[in-house]
């Protein structure tokens, strides 16, 4: 995934296991992973990612893993979320 936070992104929300909802986040989304350019993200395995595609259109994914990547030369800090379609 070669996108950066300056390119057009998808809008997603994170819904924790306890029902708490966070977002919206601007995200580079693929069928099995998402990149979220945040330095702190309250999400983990078992939480849900909601992809809001348009009015009334929401795709839902289970988060199976999260990984933080610190800022490196040419790459902003971000989280990679591994996803499974629900």
pLDDT, tens digit (0-9, with 9 covering 90-100), for 39-65? 889 899 999 999 998 888 999 999 999
Q: What is the mean pLDDT of residues 13-34?
A: 93
Strands 33-36, 48-54: pairing kind: unpaired
Contact 61, 83 (CB under 8 A): yes
Q: Is residue 79 part of a domain?
A: yes
Where does the pLDDT of residue 6 fall: very low under 50, low under 70, confident under 90, or very high at 90 and above? low
Indicate whether 18 belongs to any domain: yes
Domain membership of residue 21 (yes or no) is yes
Domain for residue 41, yes or no? yes
CATH number of the domain encompassing residue 41: 2.40.10
End-to-end CA distance of the chain: give it in Å, rounded: 22
pLDDT, position 3: 46
Domains of the chain: total: 1
> Is 63 contained in some domain?
yes
Q: What's the rounded mean pLDDT across residues 60-85? A: 94
Domain limits for position 69: 10-85
Mean of the per-residue pLDDT values for the chain? 89
């Amino acid at each position: 995934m070669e996108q950066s936070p300056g390119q057009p992104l998808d809008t997603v929300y994170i819904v924790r296991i306890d029902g708490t909802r966070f977002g919206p986040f601007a995200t580079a989304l693929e069928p099995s992973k998402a990149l979220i350019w945040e330095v702190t993200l309250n999400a983990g395995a078992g939480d849900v990612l909601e992809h809001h595609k348009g009015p009334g259109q929401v795709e839902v994914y289970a988060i199976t893993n999260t990984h933080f990547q610190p800022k490196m030369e040419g790459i902003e800090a971000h989280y990679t979320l591994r996803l499974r379609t629900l």
